[in-house]
């Protein structure tokens, strides 16, 4: 069965995921749109690189068991979402967010705390220069500080220093190039609430399913229906809060921000699969990401 194939962690699982997300996504986009764009190349490369980052996060933080379920779920969800996202900057943003989460989750060991907080804030601020609304993920930094290292006032102040550093660098870049960076935040239209799901279209289906899955995962976490060891619970709390910030962006502004929700949904789905004892229900739950990809291809 499908779950048995991914029940171990082997190099060929990584190879399958990388091939699907790099050349696979490029060929799929070309086939669906019948026109070649270099945007497909950049999207595929950033998606493939994001696999390495999220798998590193999983292994270092014991977020799932020793299997390849996460690779499978993440790959399927990401391919499904990529069909309706035609801007490679979203995948660059995904990589930046994952790198920031990697630094925030590593705060648990208490080493190099200031540099980790600075790095995470810096990465999120760079992402905000591309997508101003993602400045909301700065709240994840303060959530991480509260969960792991709240006793030192410098830990609360260093995000402000990192944010100012990025703003200064971005302002200099804007002065000497045509790239609009800091001045985006002065444009009130950027922060206008759009409520995209009120104008529902078929391409919103994938995002809608992922949003519903994330809300179910949130309820499962709050009600403690899936056993999570107390030692790793703060890490999941950080992921949950980051997921809530992503939900706000999706529901209020743009369905394409679902890209930031995919890693978190994948992790919680895998935890659910690992806790399901009945083999049939386990297979049904496991096959859902693949079915969502097929639906996305049909709609696309």
| Closest to 138 in 3D by CA, of 159, 154, 118 | 159
Q: CA-CA distance, 51 to 95, in Å (whole number)? A: 9
Q: Specify the pLDDT at position 190.
A: 75
Tokens of 206: 């994938």
Tokens of 35: 């026109």
Q: Specify the pLDDT at position 65.
A: 78
- The tally of domains found in the chain comes to 1
Assign residue 193 a region: left if phi > 0, alpha if psi is -120 to 50, beta otherwise? Answer: beta
Q: Specify the pLDDT at position 224.
A: 67
Provide CB contacts within 8 A for 211, sequence distance 6+: 247, 250, 251, 258, 261
Provide CB contacts within 8 A for 55, sequence distance 6+: 14, 70, 71
| Closest to 53 in 3D by CA, of 80, 81, 92, 79 | 92
Q: Specify the pLDDT at position 91.
A: 94
C-alpha 293: how far from chain center: 17
Tens-digit pLDDT string for the chain (300 aa): 666 777 777 777 888 888 888 888 888 887 877 778 888 889 889 999 999 999 899 988 888 878 888 888 899 999 988 888 888 899 999 999 999 999 999 998 888 899 999 999 999 999 998 899 999 999 999 999 999 888 888 999 999 999 999 989 888 888 887 777 776 776 767 778 888 877 777 777 888 888 888 888 787 777 765 667 777 788 888 999 999 999 999 999 988 999 999 999 999 888 887 777 777 777 777 788 888 888 888 876
Domain that holds residue 262: 6-299
Q: Is residue 212 part of a domain?
A: yes
Contact criterion met (CB below 8 Å) for 105 and 238: yes
Q: CA-CA distance, 121 to 97, in Å (whole number)? A: 10
Contact criterion met (CB below 8 Å) for 124 and 260: no
H or E element in which residue 117 lies: helix 113-130
- The CB density around residue 60, as the number of other CB atoms within 10 Å, is 13
Q: Is residue 1 part of a domain?
A: no
Q: Which residue has the tokens 């083999």?
A: 279
| Closest to 59 in 3D by CA, of 232, 218, 258 | 232
Contact criterion met (CB below 8 Å) for 232 and 63: yes
Q: CA-CA distance, 152 to 242, in Å (whole number)? A: 23
Q: Is residue 105 part of a domain?
A: yes
Q: CA-CA distance, 98 to 187, in Å (whole number)? A: 27
DSSP SS3 for 146:
helix
Q: How many helices (H) and strands (E) does the chain have?
A: 13, 0
| Closest to 191 in 3D by CA, of 129, 132, 255, 136 | 132
Contact criterion met (CB below 8 Å) for 128 and 257: no
Q: How many residues does the chain have?
A: 300
């Amino acid at each position: 069965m499908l779950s048995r194939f991914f029940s171990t962690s082997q190099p060929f699982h990584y190879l399958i995921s990388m091939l699907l997300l790099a050349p696979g996504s490029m060929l799929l986009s070309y086939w669906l749109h019948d026109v070649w764009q270099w945007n497909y190349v950049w999207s595929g490369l950033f998606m493939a690189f994001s696999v390495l980052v999220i798998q590193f996060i999983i292994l270092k933080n014991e977020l799932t068991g020793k299997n390849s379920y996460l690779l499978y779920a993440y790959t399927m969800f990401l391919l499904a979402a990529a069909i309706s996202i035609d801007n490679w900057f979203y995948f660059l943003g995904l990589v930046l967010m994952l790198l920031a989460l990697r630094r925030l989750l590593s705060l648990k060991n208490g080493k190099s705390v200031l540099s980790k907080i600075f790095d995470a804030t810096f990465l999120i601020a760079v992402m905000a220069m591309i997508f101003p609304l993602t400045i909301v993920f700065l709240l994840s930094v303060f959530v991480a500080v509260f969960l792991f290292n709240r006793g030192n006032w410098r830990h609360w102040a260093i995000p402000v220093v990192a944010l100012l550093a990025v703003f200064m660098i971005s302002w200099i870049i804007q002065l000497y190039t045509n790239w609009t960076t800091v001045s985006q935040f002065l444009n009130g239209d950027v922060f206008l609430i759009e409520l995209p799901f009120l104008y529902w279209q078929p391409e919103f289906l994938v995002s809608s399913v992922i949003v519903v899955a994330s809300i179910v995962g949130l309820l499962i976490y709050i009600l403690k229906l899936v056993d999570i060891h107390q030692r790793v619970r703060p890490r999941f709390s950080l992921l949950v809060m980051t997921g809530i910030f992503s939900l706000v962006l999706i529901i209020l502004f743009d369905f394409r921000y679902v890209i930031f929700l995919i890693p978190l949904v994948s992790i919680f789905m895998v935890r659910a699969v690992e806790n399901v004892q009945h083999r049939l229900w386990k297979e049904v739950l496991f096959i859902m990401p693949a079915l969502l990809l097929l639906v996305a291809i049909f709609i696309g």
